[in-house]
Amino acid sequence: MKIKTILVDDERLARKELTKMLQAYKNIEIIDEAENAEEALDKIEAQKPDLVFLDINMPEKNGFDLVEELIYLPEIIFVTAYDEYAIKAFEVNALDYLLKPVEENRLKEAIEKVSKKIELNQQNKTSDKLTQESRVFLKDGDKCWFVQLKDIRMFESEGNYIRVYFENNKPLILKSLNSLSEKLDDSQFFRANRKFIINLSWVDKIENWFSGGLKVTLKSGEEVEVSRRQTAKFKEMMSL
């Protein structure tokens, strides 16, 4: 299986050197490069790579800023000349952290790690998407629920957890929003922004909002902003 990869670094020579080193790994397919965070954001969202090698120190927005803005989140391997960012890198769930100049043995370890993780993710994926009629088991502390998805109005990311909204309940479950979105039918559950997935059957009102985005009001009265990047997708899905 080919691992679709994008390299993000403001130094052309650094990208060139890493490209040369990655040629030794036949399962790595470099599909694009970016020299700043804004360019990388567009390319990652459009091409949805499996893996991104990401520099931390870049002009204007750094690598951490980029990760914060991503809706689609691939596996991230940070590549930097500075070791003081290592703890923060793993706090944002980076797969690995390589110091420049990149050593062959460390790159090999990182590639082996990402290969195993992506292979495992593929094995765990199911072709059966969860729909409105599907039932899910939720557990938060001592409390348990068995809920139909049509009764869940939205999901909110809180770090490594998801808050699930149904009736007057808001339990927290240990799961990422990205992994959840892969299991949901995206014609019924829409990723409004980096933090929220909304149940489209609960949408009551839609308004134009700031910077080309939308504001969605749910039947429960809760309001969720649709990011500018997701607004175009939302309009395309919902239009005749």
Lowest mean pLDDT segment, chosen from 28-42, 51-65, 87-101: 87-101
Beta bridge mates, 158: 161
What pLDDT does residue 11 have?
A: 95
Rg (CA), the chain: 20
Provide long-range contacts, Cβ within 8 A and 24+ apart, for 20-23: 21/102, 21/104, 21/107, 22/107
Instruction: Give yes or no for residue 75 having a pLDDT over 70.
Output: yes
Lowest mean pLDDT segment, chosen from 2-16, 18-32, 108-122, 212-226: 108-122
Residues 6 or more apart whose Cβ sits within 8 Å of residue 198: 153, 154, 189, 190, 192, 216, 218, 224
Q: Which helix (H) or strand (E) holds 111?
A: helix 104-124
3-state helix, strand, coil in the chain (%, to 5): 35, 35, 30
Q: What is the pLDDT of residues 110-148, one digit of tens each?
A: 999 999 988 887 766 655 688 899 999 999 999 999 999
- Residue 31 binned pLDDT confidence (cut-offs 50, 70, 90): very high
What pLDDT does residue 115 have?
A: 94
Which CATH class for the 135-238 domain?
mainly beta
| Structure token pair of residue 10 | 């403001």
- Residue 240 binned pLDDT confidence (cut-offs 50, 70, 90): low
Please give the average per-residue pLDDT across 6-27, as a whole number: 96
Sign of CA dihedral 14, 111, 51, 97: negative
* Average pLDDT value over all residues in the chain: 92
Rounded to the nearest angstrom, the gap between the alpha carbon of residue 160 and the centroid of all alpha carbons in its chain is: 12
Please give the average per-residue pLDDT across 3-31, as a whole number: 97
Give 93: exposed, middle or buried? Use CB within 10 Å, 0-12, 13-18, 19+.
middle
Q: What is the pLDDT of residues 135-186, one digit of tens each?
A: 999 999 999 999 999 999 999 999 889 999 999 999 999 988 888 988 898 8
Q: How far apart are CA 193 and CA 225, in angstroms?
A: 7
Rounded to the nearest angstrom, the gap between the alpha carbon of residue 87 and the centroid of all alpha carbons in its chain is: 20
What pLDDT does residue 156 have?
A: 97
Count CA within 13 A, CB hemisphere, residue 229.
14
Please give the average per-residue pLDDT across 186-193, as a whole number: 92
Q: How far apart are CA 83 and CA 105, in angstroms?
A: 17
Pairing of strands 3-8, 51-55: parallel
Locate the domains of the chain by residue range: 3-124, 135-238
Say what percent of the chain tops pLDDT 70. Answer: 97
What pLDDT does residue 237 have?
A: 80
What pLDDT does residue 128 have?
A: 66
Q: What's the angle, vertex CA 87, arms to CA 23 and CA 57, rounded to 5?
A: 60
3-124 under CATH 3.40.50.2300, yes or no: yes
